[in-house]
Structure 1
Amino acid sequence: MVPVRLTGPRLAVREYHHTEGDVDALHALLGDPEVTRYLPFGPSDREDCADQVELYLEEAMAEERDTYRLAVTRLADAEEPDDATPIGQASLTLEGHRAAWLGCVLARGCWGRGYAGETVGLLCDLAFGPLDLHRLAARVAVANTASVKVLTGLGFRLEGRLRHDVFEDGVWSDSYLYSLLADEWPGPAVRAEGG
């Protein structure tokens, strides 16, 4: 495993650690109903989050890694980004033909600060740099205007609307599908290490 460590102006994106701190931080994130409102699953309990961190570490150790679920931290929160408490999660799920699905979720107290744009930019740098991908795609709930703004601000283009894409609590909802191609990405916005 080559650990992923990406550094932006204010944030770092790193592998999860199977520590109480990382599990607690993931639970604070994914246990919040407001944070999971637009995700395809409801709030998670702490035990589920501990299991998720274990799964993330197994995925990171795979011989041919195809899933990157990474912790987002603030650089100012610790001497070393590896010691900082996660404030969010970033993900890339690789598919065939040099393509991947992208995802990002941040703690409610971090909304509105530009962290989502910085995080997605770091993922784009990783995807189109060391991973040599050609295409990134993201699904966004139609009502999630903040995520739409982040994606379009980074150059993602709307491909269409996926009708009745998600079924939750007995209700169907639509999603937008956005994509970005390697030749549309202007290049590394920040220094990235790992891959």
Structure 2
Amino acid sequence: MVPVRLTGPRLAIREYHHTDGDVDALHALFGDPEVTRHLPFEPHDRETCADQIELYLEEAMAEQRDTYRLAVTRLADAEDPRDATPIGQASLTLGEHGAADLGCVLGREFQGSGHGREVTALLCDLGFGVLGLHRLTARAEAANAAAATVLTGLGFRPEERARQDRLPDGERSGPDHYVLLADAWPGPADRRPAERRPEGEGG
């Protein structure tokens, strides 16, 4: 396994460690109903989070790795980002024909500060620059307008609506799909500075 280590202006993305600290951090994230309300699962207990990290490490060791579920940390939290406590999760799931689906979720206290944009940009660098992918897709729940703002701000374009359901109050439900092609991604050198804007839990 070649460990993933990505660094941005304020954040770093690394592999998970099967330690009490990383398990506690994942539980703080996935055990929070406010964080998981836009995710496709109910809040997890700590034991489930420990099992999840074990799965993440197994995926990382696969001979042909196709799943990257990674810890997001703040550079300010430790001299070495590998020692910092995770504040969120970044994911990249490879599909066929050079495509992959990406996602991002952050703890509630770290939302709304531009972190989601930075994580998503780092995942684009990983997908297009390191892995040589041609197409990235992401989903944002219809109710999570802030996540859609992050994606469109980085050049993703709406592709299709997975469902057209409407809630009793008239709001739409179900995820929107967004797509970004490699030739539309300027890369880290030409990327516009991160903007401070409201953002949601996922990407």
TM-score by length of 2: 0.88
Native 8 Å contact 2:10 2:76 kept in 1 = yes
Instruction: Give how far 1:164 is off.
Output: 5.9
Residue 96 of structure 1 is matched in structure 2 by 96
Paired residue secondary structure (2:26) = helix
Q: Which amino acid aligns with 2:97?
A: H
Residue 36 of structure 1 is matched in structure 2 by 36
Which sections of structure 1, spanning at least 5 residues, go unmatched? Answer: 166-171, 191-195
* 1:107-122 correspondence runs (5 A): 107-122=107-122
Q: Which amino acid aligns with 2:76?
A: A
Residue 53 of structure 1 is matched in structure 2 by 53
Richer in strand (by share):
1
Instruction: Give how far 1:173 is off.
Output: 3.5
Residue 141 of structure 2 is matched in structure 1 by 141
Native 8 Å contact 1:121 1:189 kept in 2 = no
Give CA-to-partner distance per residue, 1:107-162, whole Å, 9 cap, x none: 00001110000000000000001100000001111000110010000000001211
Instruction: Give how far 1:175 is off.
Output: 1.2
* 1:176-187 correspondence runs (5 A): 176-187=176-187
Whole-Å separation in 2 of the counterparts to 1:36 and 1:54: 20
Q: Cα RMSD over matched residues?
A: 1.4
> Per chain length, whose mean CA-contact separation is higher, i.e. which structure has more relative contact order (CA < 8 Å, sep 6+)?
1
Whole-Å separation in 2 of the counterparts to 1:58 and 1:41: 21
Paired residue secondary structure (2:40) = coil
Q: Which amino acid aligns with 1:183?
A: D
Paired residue secondary structure (1:35) = helix
TM-score by length of 1: 0.92
Whole-Å separation in 1 of the counterparts to 2:189 and 2:158: 22
Any runs of at least 4 consecutive aligned residues in structure 1 with deviations exceeding 3 A, and if so which? none
Native 8 Å contact 1:122 1:189 kept in 2 = no
Whole-Å separation in 2 of the counterparts to 1:57 and 1:82: 15
Whole-Å separation in 2 of the counterparts to 1:140 and 1:120: 13
Percentage of pairs with the same residue: 73
Residue 151 of structure 2 is matched in structure 1 by 151
Q: Which amino acid aligns with 2:122?
A: L
Whole-Å separation in 2 of the counterparts to 1:151 and 1:62: 29
Whole-Å separation in 1 of the counterparts to 2:10 and 2:174: 33
Give CA-to-partner distance per residue, 1:67-104, whole Å, 9 cap, x none: 00000000000010000000000000000100001000
Q: Which amino acid aligns with 1:59?
A: E
